[in-house]
Amino acid sequence: MAMPTLGILGSGTGSNMQAILDAIEAGELEARIALVLSDNPNAAILERAREKGIRAEVIDCRGHLMKFPEEAQQEMARRLRDAGVDLVCLAGFMRLVKRPLLDAFPSRILNIHPSLLPAFPGLEAWRQALEAGVLESGATVHLVDAGMDTGPILGQERVSVFPDDTPQTLHARIQLAEHRLYPEMIGRYAAQLNP
């Protein structure tokens, strides 16, 4: 895959999408973002994408706050395929991806998670790390499977936990690690798929 076409799924501010975009613009990642999709019509990720001239659309989750209805996933898969997407990158996407999206993009959906998986899957992993009293946490890029943050790990970056850390300070340092790690792992994985 000489130059992968990316589809980004996000629910929030889009800082990881911005890091991917920055890496592309700096020539550090050879890729193109074709489409950004969000389950949250008010997500800042949509505005960030539109400001850069990237197609950004909302996925209708039929009024469900957490569940990801099958029809919504089918619609998402269709839109990603229609946009010519090779790799799907979850960037703060807060719903659990299942079939048919997994079937539409087998081993082609990546996620960034704010912990050293398999430790602390799920929500607010930085808070879980602090509550557990660990000395280090970090960020993990992994392939998405049907479980919660259980897919094969592609890469990790470690972040020290300091005695005076709050959830906010630790999360901010983990985000810096995410922003370095995600573009690098996207490039490396795309190169493996089609050298």
Spot the catalytic one: 113, 142, 171, 179: 113
Indicate the SS3 state at residue 19. Answer: helix
Is-contact 76 57, C-beta < 8 A? Answer: no
Indicate the SS3 state at residue 110. Answer: strand
Give all strands (DSSP E) within the chain, no chain letters: 5-9, 32-38, 55-58, 87-90, 109-113, 136-143, 153-160
Annotated catalytic, 113? yes
Indicate the SS3 state at residue 25. Answer: helix
* Active-site annotation, residues: 113
